[in-house]
Structure 1
Amino acid sequence: MIDLLLGTIASTIAIDQSDKDLISRLFREKKYGKGEYFLAEGEVCRQVGFIISGVVQYYINHDGEEKTYGFGKEMDFVCNNESFIPQKPSRQAIQALEDCTLFVISYNDLQLFYAEIRNGERFGRLVIEQVFVQTLRGLNSFYTDSPEIRYEKFIKEYPELVQRIPQYYIASYVGVKPQSLSRIRKRNTQRD
């Protein structure tokens, strides 16, 4: 399974066998059961994960209601950079929606990755840039797109998740109640 992680890294930066050996030592496999937290609200995010199997949701608790703002699936990196980079408590949570297997690396080991892997810092920068652009895209969509358009974008971005996760998480992500999502889905079906 480490080959998936190594392949993802190698698709971005050149790594040799000694790099692969170090990466294999720095990342460790960790399993999360459905409902368990990769990061709970109020905790400091002390690791970055790479999803081998499973799905996680990113959410924030707003007045006692979970507001889902993103998902992570196979081959995605998982982290709350707002907490991880400054090592400050998180206002968000990252929770497993399915049983998950990840390769995780601690904050300190990631610093070693950056220092020891040729172009390691470049890899980190490129991953953070992808997360940043995705976050901005989601924020812009939330303020400018209708729930129907947000649902259509969800289907395009996460087609494999439509049947894998409960509809109320999708409704939260789209910014509507589950009943409204049912109406949106029905209208989409009638158009097709």
Structure 2
Amino acid sequence: MTDFTTLIQQHFGALSANDLNTICMYFREEKLGKNEFFTQTGQRCNRLSIVKSGILRIYALSEEKEITQWLSVPDSFITEVVGFFFHQPNRWNIQAFTEVELLTITKTDYQKLCKEFPKWNEIEKQFIIKCFMMMEDRIFSHLSMTAEERYNRYFDHQKELFTQVPFQYIASVLGMTPETFSRIRKRQAEKS
């Protein structure tokens, strides 16, 4: 994992040493065992974390299938946005796919940080904007790229996941069936 203070600055811009110390005081180390839930559908997520190590899977169960929305890897933020920010029941399950180490701030401490450190409101705004940009980028890729282009792009950015998680999870993240994913994967292997 990238150093915590470096990671905060990468995501939110340059901050003073005092600002970074204030933020760091509120984050605590947390560990999840493999298959342990960070939060579940119907609950209200009460924490926001940065992944230090391991992989978490964000997914939902529908009547017809299981939908993997995202796979969180080291240096990424993790929370259930609807639950954490809007106090509504979670739509998604977030489960440790491997053993996971996190740096976590609880909702209560998050609210204290907002009061003690007014600059945090700007950081929060940037976090939500980054979430929105990721969502918008994902929608754009699903609407404008072929399945093979989405596969190649994801492979270029998350190559390590292709050896660590079942392909049906990656296929779901990419909005394709496992069969389409397998065909594309076979074509890519033939090109190599």
Per-residue CA distance 1:30-73 (angstroms, 9 max, x = gap): 11111111111111011101000011122222215211121211
Q: What is the root-mean-square deviation of aligned Cα atoms in Å?
A: 2.0
Q: What are the equivalent positions in structure 2 for 1:63-142 lying under 5 Å apart?
A: 63-117=63-117, 119-142=119-142
- The secondary structure found in structure 1 opposite 2:31 is strand
Distance across 2 between alignment mates of 1:123 and 1:13: 11
Is the deviation greater in 132-141 or in 40-49?
Answer: 132-141
- The secondary structure found in structure 2 opposite 1:162 is helix
What amino acid does structure 2 have at the position aligned with 1:48? L
Task: Quote the residue 1:14 is aligned against.
Answer: 15
- Displacement after TM superposition at 1:87 (Å): 0.9
Q: 1:109 to 1:64 in 2, by over 3 A?
A: farther
- The secondary structure found in structure 2 opposite 1:85 is helix
Task: Quote the residue 2:177 is aligned against.
Answer: 177
What amino acid does structure 2 have at the position aligned with 1:87? H
Distance across 2 between alignment mates of 1:79 and 1:13: 23
Task: Quote the residue 1:28 is aligned against.
Answer: 28
Is the deviation greater in 35-44 or in 155-164?
Answer: 155-164
Task: Quote the residue 1:5 is aligned against.
Answer: 4
Distance across 1 between alignment mates of 2:125 and 2:76: 15
Give the gaps of 5 or more residues in structure 2.
none
Distance across 2 between alignment mates of 1:190 and 1:78: 36
Give the gaps of 5 or more residues in structure 1.
none
Distance across 2 between alignment mates of 1:94 and 1:146: 28
How many aligned positions are there?
190
Q: 1:115 to 1:10 in 2, by over 3 A?
A: farther
Distance across 1 between alignment mates of 2:45 and 2:143: 28
- The secondary structure found in structure 1 opposite 2:127 is helix
- The secondary structure found in structure 1 opposite 2:86 is coil
Task: Quote the residue 1:164 is aligned against.
Answer: 164
Distance across 2 between alignment mates of 1:14 and 1:50: 18
Question: Could you tell me whether the CA contact under 8 Å between 1:4 and 1:52 is conserved in 2?
Answer: no
What amino acid does structure 2 have at the position aligned with 1:110? Y
TM superposition score normalised by structure 2:
0.88
Is the deviation greater in 94-103 or in 22-31?
Answer: 22-31
- Displacement after TM superposition at 1:28 (Å): 1.2
Distance across 1 between alignment mates of 2:166 and 2:40: 20
Runs of 4+ in 1 over 6 A off after TM superposition: none
- Displacement after TM superposition at 1:157 (Å): 2.5
Distance across 2 between alignment mates of 1:162 and 1:22: 38
- Displacement after TM superposition at 1:92 (Å): 1.1
Distance across 2 between alignment mates of 1:179 and 1:147: 12
